């Protein structure tokens, strides 16, 4: 309505200006020339306010043309038949011009709106191939529906527990009465389709895909044209396919997560049983021997059994620590607390933690004189070294040597733990760090090496396995120095 009044004002204003300019020239210019010039206000009024504004300008132009440019001037009297013909032609031509310009304006407006509809529909179609979360897709559907169809509000509803629930909305929200009217549990008949508008101003459109109702789109207000109502059907189909695809993708993701959790649980049980079997068996045998034959055992034999129980209990404690660390990793709450320390300090802490495990085995420590201070999370990096030492003790000979070296290699500081065990085959040197890896040949596996790699990589460093010349395995890792950020 406001646009129409602006068109009337524009047409009458431009008519007044042109009439003022033409009056001094009316004795010079032909009547037909004046009529041609007065076409301009009509076109201007139609362009701004539509056909009705142009029609008002035509009526005003007819009176101005008669009053100012048809003799006798200054009256509405027409003295000759020729002048009547000129006035009639002016009125007919002006109405035709107004109608043509209005039609062109409507066509241009529809084309512009059509381009916007195509753009918005393309955005919905892109969601069919995009990995967009369901929540984001729902917001996109209702916002697009409201923008494309010019309605006051749009809402998506789904049937849950026998009742319709709003899952996304844009613009004017649905009232409690609206929901009650649409809800199938209310017992009221509801016609669903793009061409039906109920007495409450609501239009309900079913979103169906593969013969299954996905959701319901409720629009408050009526699309402006029949073309838009046809587009609404296509929009509903595309939205249904996009929504169904997103829901299926989320269901597949949930299934994948459940399968991963199941695999994790089975792997955890396998790894725990693998790591706990030996220390539990040792503790059981030693404690049973002490209970059943304690009186007949010599003092050295009893002391050895007590030492075995102590060593294996410490090993079990470290395994429980590893399990707790693993749960922290899975929960995403692993946080580094870096501090400046020395390589000797880390090694001393780790050796103290596995002290009881060194029975007849020997530890050799070699720290280069040029090794700088380190900046690490001391607790986590000590746990890494404890796991590597425990791995070396378990796989080395009973009277072997475990060697810990720290040296500079170019710009890196490398810590390595060597054992004299059977080594790790080249094709398994990466897999030993993978969580819950089990080898048919009974090779190294379990949680310790997985925890070690995770903690090292949390420091943005690397860890690897290689062979030791002469036999055995070497596990090496780089350490961040105090001079690095």
Question: What's the pLDDT tens digit per position in 338-387?
Answer: 999 999 999 999 998 888 777 678 899 999 999 999 999 998 899 899 98
**What single DSSP character describes residue 171?**
E
Is the distance from CB of 264 to CB of 271 less than 8 angstroms?
no
Domain boundaries, the chain: 2-118, 132-253, 275-327, 333-479
Q: Say if 132-253 and 333-479 have the same CATH topology.
A: no
What pLDDT shows up at residue 343?
Answer: 94
Which of 290, 295, 328, 335 shows the shortest CA–CA distance to 309? Answer: 290
Question: What CATH number belongs to 132-253?
Answer: 3.30.450.40
pTM comes to 0.47
Residue of 286 and 436 predicted with greater confidence:
286
Q: How far apart are CA 59 and CA 1, in angstroms?
A: 20
Its CATH architecture, for the domain 333-479, is 2-Layer Sandwich (3.30)
Q: How far apart are CA 192 and CA 206, in angstroms?
A: 6
What pLDDT shows up at residue 229?
Answer: 66
Gyration radius (Cα) of the chain, Å: 44
What pLDDT shows up at residue 40?
Answer: 80
Which of 418, 391, 414, 392 shows the shortest CA–CA distance to 404? Answer: 418
Q: What is the pLDDT of residues 435-468, one digit of tens each?
A: 655 544 444 456 788 888 989 998 999 999 999 9
Q: What is the pLDDT of residues 141-174, one digit of tens each?
A: 888 888 777 788 888 888 787 778 888 888 888 8
Residue of 439 and 26 predicted with greater confidence:
26
Q: How far apart are CA 378 and CA 480, in angstroms?
A: 12
Half-sphere exposure at residue 387, Cβ-oriented, CA atoms within 13 angstroms = 32
What are the helix (H) ranges across 294-371? 299-331, 343-353
Is the distance from CB of 339 to CB of 375 less than 8 angstroms?
yes
């Amino acid at each position: 309505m406001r646009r129409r009044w602006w068109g009337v004002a524009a047409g009458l204003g431009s008519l007044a200006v042109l009439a003022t300019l033409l009056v001094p020239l009316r004795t010079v210019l032909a009547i037909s020339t004046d009529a041609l010039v007065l076409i301009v206000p009509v076109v201007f009024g139609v362009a701004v306010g539509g056909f009705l504004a142009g029609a008002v300008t035509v009526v005003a132009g007819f009176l101005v043309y008669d009053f100012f440019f048809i003799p006798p001037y200054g009256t509405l009297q027409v003295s000759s038949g020729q002048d009547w013909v000129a006035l009639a032609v002016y009125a007919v031509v002006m109405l035709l011009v107004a109608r043509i310009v209005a039609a062109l304006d409507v066509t241009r407006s529809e084309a512009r709106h059509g381009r916007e509809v195509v753009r918005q529909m393309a955005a919905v179609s892109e969601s069919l191939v995009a990995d967009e979360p369901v929540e984001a897709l729902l917001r996109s559907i209702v916002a697009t529906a409201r923008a494309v169809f010019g309605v006051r509000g749009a809402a998506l509803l789904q049937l849950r527990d026998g009742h319709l629930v709003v899952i996304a909305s844009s613009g004017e929200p649905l009232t409690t009465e609206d929901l009650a009217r649409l809800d199938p549990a209310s017992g009221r008949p509801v016609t669903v389709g793009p061409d039906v508008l109920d007495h409450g101003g609501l239009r309900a459109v079913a979103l169906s895909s593969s013969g299954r109702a996905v959701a319901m789109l409720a629009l408050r207000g009526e699309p402006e044209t029949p073309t838009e109502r046809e587009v609404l059907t296509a929009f509903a189909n595309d939205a249904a396919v996009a929504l169904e695809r997103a829901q299926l993708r989320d269901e597949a993701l949930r299934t994948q997560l459940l399968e991963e959790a199941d695999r994790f649980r089975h792997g955890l049980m396998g790894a725990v049983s693998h790591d706990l079997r030996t220390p539990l068996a040792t503790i059981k045998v030693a404690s049973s021997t002490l209970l059943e034959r304690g009186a007949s055992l010599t003092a050295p034999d009893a002391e050895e059994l007590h030492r075995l129980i102590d060593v294996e209990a410490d090993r079990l404690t470290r395994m429980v620590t590893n399990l707790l660390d693993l749960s922290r990793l899975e929960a995403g709450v692993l946080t580094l607390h870096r501090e400046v320390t020395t390589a000797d300090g880390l090694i001393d802490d780790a050796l103290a933690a596995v002290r009881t495990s060194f029975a007849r085995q020997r530890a050799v420590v070699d720290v280069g004189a040029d090794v700088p201070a380190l900046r690490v999370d001391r607790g986590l990096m000590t746990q890494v070294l404890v796991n590597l030492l425990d791995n070396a003790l378990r796989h080395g000979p009973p009277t072997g040597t475990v060697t810990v070296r720290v040296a500079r290699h170019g710009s890196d500081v490398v810590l390595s733990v060597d054992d004299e065990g059977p080594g790790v085959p080249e094709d398994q040197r990466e897999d030993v760090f993978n969580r819950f890896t089990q080898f048919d040949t009974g090779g190294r596996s379990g949680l310790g090496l997985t925890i070690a790699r995770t903690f090292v990589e949390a420091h943005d460093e690397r860890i690897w396995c290689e062979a030791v010349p002469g036999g055995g395995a070497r596990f090496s890792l780089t350490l961040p120095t105090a001079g690095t950020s």
